[in-house]
Structure 1
Amino acid sequence: MQKKMVIKRLHCALTMILLLVVCGFLTYQYYFNAPRHDSFVSKQKLSDTVTLYITKYDDGSATVPDVYRFYLDKDTSENIMKELEERSPFLEANTNHVTASAYGNTVNIKITGKVYSFTNSDLFYADGVAIMPVINLIANGIRD
Structure 2
Amino acid sequence: MQFRTAIKLGHYFLTVYLLVMVGGYYFLNQQDDAPDTLKTVSQLNSEHWLYMTEHNTGGATVPITYRYYVEPKIKGSDQQIAKQLSALEPLISGMGSINDIHIDDKNRVTVNYSGRFINMASGVDQVTFEIQR
Q: What's the TM-score, normalizing by structure 1?
A: 0.59
Structure number with larger C-alpha Rg:
2
Q: Deviations over 1:24-82 (max 9, x none)?
A: 212221xx32414635123344673x533102356898987553222344312321433
Task: Give the stretch that moved more between structures: 83-92 or 53-62.
Answer: 53-62
Aligned to 2:20: 19
Q: Please show how residues 63-102 of structure 1 align to structure 2 within 5 Å.
A: 65-85=63-83, 87=86, 90=90, 91-98=92-99, 99-101=101-103
Can you give the 5+ residue segments of structure 1 that lack an aligned partner in the other structure?
Answer: 122-133
Is 1:33 matched with 2:15? no
Aligned to 1:42: 41
Aligned length: 126
**What's the RMSD between the two structures over aligned residues?**
3.7
Identity of aligned residues (%): 17
Q: Deviations over 1:98-119 (max 9, x none)?
A: 4253745x6554422211x314
Can you give the 5+ residue segments of structure 2 that lack an aligned partner in the other structure?
Answer: none
SS in 2 for 1:135: coil
Q: What's the TM-score, normalizing by structure 2?
A: 0.62
Is 1:118 matched with 2:119? yes
SS in 2 for 1:84: helix
Tell me if the contact between 1:54 and 1:69 (Cα under 8 Å) persists in the aligned partners.
yes
